[in-house]
Amino acid sequence: MIIEDDPGLQSQMRWCFDAYDVTVVDTRETAIAEIRRREPPVVILDLGLPPDAEGTTEGVAALGEILSLTPNAKVIVVTGNDDKQNSVKSIGLGAYDFYQKPIDPDLLNLVVQRAFRIYELEEENKRLYHNDGSKMLEGIIAGSDNMDRVCRLIEKVAPTDATAILFGESGTGKELLASALHTLSDRSDGRFVAINCAAIPENLLESELFGHEKGAFTGAVKRTLGKVELADRGTLFLDEIGDLSLGLQAKLLRFLQQRVIERVGGREEIAVDVRVVCATHQDLKALIEAGQFREDLYYRISEVAVRIPPLRERDGDALLIARTMLDGLNRKHKRSIRGFNNDAIKAILAYHWPGNVRELENKLNGAVILSEGKQISAHDLDLEVPDESMTYLNLRSARHEAERRVLRQALAQTSGNLSRASELLGITRPTIYDLMKKHNIGGAPD
């Protein structure tokens, strides 16, 4: 973004930066409005803006506002010839660099290039920092604190033989974590056998679970082992346990108490050694209240209960997962898409992901197939770009409130002694006057 009021310099700089996506504005107000909308990584700011084109008040005010709206932006301040004092002052206020007129296009171009480079490095650095420290479970992409806690819990529980139940909305990774529990356990040489209690008709489920003998019912042409028996020495994953009928709940409870099964149509009791992991998206307590789920079974299966947070509650994970999955999808679809554009990033972070990771996976897959650009856009993902003006407004008013509160506290603590209050706040006396005026707090001289 170029903030410059001189038409001649405007066109010179447009030409100088025609390789960039440039926005040119000529006042502080329009600059701030555009900054809100675009968050440009690099800003060239002329300190002499109208109505104070000969002085620096508008420019300096703009600098402060830009940095409070986009603290990471690299602001290059352009000052008058030989105006060392304001150049230095700007750096003190947080400008990235300064440049003194007259403008040499090649030189300014170098400064801008370097600013972009620094901006990118800082962003990258932040990303790495956030991903660090979370040792991943195999196949599980997670960087947020709450998912990190879940992963640590899984690691801790895995080597025990405790029965575990995983609660989570659809697509949150219940099956993935159940299989991680298995892989990290002493049973990893055995099988991980999953059965979805909601997907199999009730009359077939018993035989699916416990197996049947030849001739047990019409169509039972040979002996067939059930999932429980197949999981012997391994892990049995009972998905959607909340959908199990009361009759089968009783049979499952009996198995969990006695660790023996009887195949349908069979007479012998067969000992089976399995570790049971269950999952559900339902509220089992409510089902118990409603008389649809046995309380005694609930206690049997929930020696350890793990709540998997929905994707929207995992700070930044949606983007981390999207970035990580993009590599695999590029390979799968033989494409070479390089990341996400700004709109896509904002949309991914703002969307509430009712279908969680599964939905994210599906949307990404579609986007990689359909995308026509080098980067995936919000449109490719079929997501809406959030309207951010509201968030900024809130952020600004939150800052305003905080400032006011701290100021009042400092004044109260020092019984209104402005020197001591400004010392306490780490600001100068003129600044504390300004703040008091701004917040309409009495005592400041006019």
- Please report, as ranges, the residues that interact with Mg ion according to CB under 5 A: 175
The vertex-35 CA angle with 30 and 39, nearest 5°, equals: 160
Amino acid at 376: I
CA distance 188 to 176: 14
The CA–CA distances, whole Å, from 358 to 154, 310, 317, 347, 364 equal: 20, 11, 13, 17, 10
Judged by beta carbon, residue 170 or residue 375, the one nearer ligand ATP is 170
Name the DSSP class of 376: B
**Residue window 128-157: x/- pattern of binding to ligand ATP, with contact defined by CB under 6 A:** ------------xxx---------------
| Cβ atoms of residues 67 and 94 within 8 Å | yes
| Residue with the shortest CB distance to ligand ATP | 173
Identify what 141 binds: Mg ion, ligand ATP, none; CB under 5 to 8 Å per kind: ligand ATP
The CB-of-361 to Mg ion minimum distance in angstroms stands at 13
Q: Which does 281 bind (CB under 5 to 8 A by kind): Mg ion, ligand ATP, none?
A: ligand ATP
357 lines the binding site for ligand ATP (CB under 6 A) = yes
Name residue, tokens 């709206």.
69
Among 384, 366, 367, smallest CA distance to 376 is for 367
Nearer to ligand ATP, 167 or 210 (CB): 167
Q: Which one among 16, 76, 108, 321 touches ligand ATP, defined by CB under 6 A? A: 321
Q: Which is nearer to ligand ATP, 89 or 174 (CB)?
A: 174
- Minimum Å distance from CB 355 to ligand ATP? 8
Rg (CA), the chain: 31
Scanning residues 157 to 176, which ones bind ligand ATP (CB under 6 A)?
A: 168, 170-176
Nearest-approach distance from CB 197 to Mg ion, in angstroms: 11
How wide is the angle at C-alpha 173 spanned by C-alphas 124 and 157, nearest 5°? 100
Q: Which does 100 bind (CB under 5 to 8 A by kind): ligand ATP, Mg ion, none?
A: none
Assess 341 for contact with ligand ATP (CB under 6 A).
no
Which DSSP category does 127 fall into? H
Q: Which residue has the tokens 């206690």?
A: 299
List the interface residues with ligand ATP, window 248-287 (CB under 6 A).
281
| Dist CA 388 CA 395 (whole Å) | 11
**Under rule CB under 6 A, residue 300 binds ligand ATP:** no
Q: Compute the distance between CA of residue 337 and CA of residue 321 in angstroms, rounded to an integer.
A: 16
Least CB distance to Mg ion at residue 167 (A): 12
Contact positions toward ligand ATP, by CB under 6 A?
A: 140-142, 168, 170-176, 281, 321, 357-358, 361
